[in-house]
Amino acid sequence: EKNQQSTINNHRLPIHTVGIIGAGTMGSGIAQVAATAGCLVKLFDTNQAALDKAKVALEKVLNRLIEKGRIDAHEKIRIQGNISYVNALQTLADADLTIEAIVENLDIKKKVFQELESYVSDTAIIASNTSSLSIASIAASLQRPERCIGIHFFNPAPLMKLVEVIPAVQTSQTVLDTCVAEITRWKKVVAVAKDTPGFIVNRVARPFYGEALRIYEEGIADFATIDWAMKTIGGFRMGPFELMDFIGNDVNYTVTETVFNAFYQDPRYKPSFTQQRYSQAGYLGRKSGRGYYDYKNEEVDNAF
Ligand code: NAI
């Protein structure tokens, strides 16, 4: 009955086929979310190994969901059946909405957007999952900039409820309305934000990490004490150092640096040398087995 419902909904809604560019951490998670909501998803990556990895990872995640009793075997087959893994961008020609989640580099994103626009219909929406680049500058690379918008998921995309939707100055109201309705249908909570560095969450979060690092650098408390205090007294689910280890110190440092520079070096967002050195040393966090804490004896579990 559930499946029938989503099929019916798909015919009513303007978004039927969803293209995803980049099958990494974010792209593969967003693909799962869209496929679960009943969209036909085309997940594209230039790297075949990334596509293979995304497919295996989804199988694992869905098996874990079955074990936990959250979905059944039919649901697993339905979700998997909705995703195709493709290695030619042209395959995304019939996508009503494409969400790009490739490397955080403006020139590379612009090139991919221009190529995609040459294949898709005039009404197709082209979105970026960028954390820190301006949507206006990405939109400016298109013939029809009004079709461009930011749709910013959080990691891990299937688990995190919030999605920021960011219209650029060029974005049309129809494109914004369509995206808000569609992402809401994907069972996410949408916050519409203006196109400014870090949008809402990544801006509010800068002083959270930055001040924690400064407290450590000033010798006031160690990582574990700061994390403990923020969890016990602050009511946070994770302390700042646990969270930075989860996100990755390289990723977190780069976002801070970008927000800092984008705000004309406002000292509120100043990056930390401690984090820079940890990042340079390869102490990236959970993904490298060591960050502010040691994870070598812990199995990294990305299934939820
Ligand atoms: P990732 O490195 O895990 O995945 C990127 C994927 O894009 C790789 O599989 C790579 O092969 C592919 N790729 C690179 N260039 C390509 C091209 N020209 N055409 C097709 N595929 C290409 O990266 P991740 O972490 O998923 O980030 C992707 C985007 O999402 C970035 O813009 C990032 O700022 C943003 N983002 C990341 C978050 C995170 O916590 N990792 C959270 C929210 C947004």
- Ordered by start, the domain boundaries in the chain are 2-192, 201-288
For residue range 234-248, what is the model confidence (pLDDT) as tens digits?
A: 899 999 999 999 999
How sure is the predictor about 304, in pLDDT bands with cuts at 50, 70 and 90?
A: very low
Ligand 1 centroid to 26 CA: how many Å?
6
Q: Give exposure, 267-296, as e/b (b: 16+ Cβ within 10 Å).
A: eebbbbebbeebbeeebbbbbbebbbeeee
DSSP state of 88: -
Ligand 1 centroid to 150 CA: how many Å?
14
On average, the pLDDT of the chain sits at 93
ipTM summary value: 0.98
Kindly state if the Cβ of 233 falls inside 6 Å of ligand 1.
no
How sure is the predictor about 14, in pLDDT bands with cuts at 50, 70 and 90?
A: confident
* Domain 2-192, architecture per CATH: 3-Layer(aba) Sandwich (3.40)
For residue range 84-109, what is the model confidence (pLDDT) as tens digits?
A: 999 999 999 999 999 999 998 999 99
Amino acid 300: pLDDT? 54
Instruction: Tokens for 51, please give them.
Output: 């596509």
How sure is the predictor about 289, in pLDDT bands with cuts at 50, 70 and 90?
A: very high
Contact 31, 122 (CB under 8 A): no
> What is the position in ligand 1's atom list of the atom closest to the CA of 247?
40
Handedness of CA 156, 181, 112, 106 (dihedral sign): negative
Amino acid 144: pLDDT? 98
What is the pTM (predicted TM-score) of this model? 0.89
Amino acid 303: pLDDT? 39
Amino acid 205: pLDDT? 94
* Domain 201-288, architecture per CATH: Orthogonal Bundle (1.10)
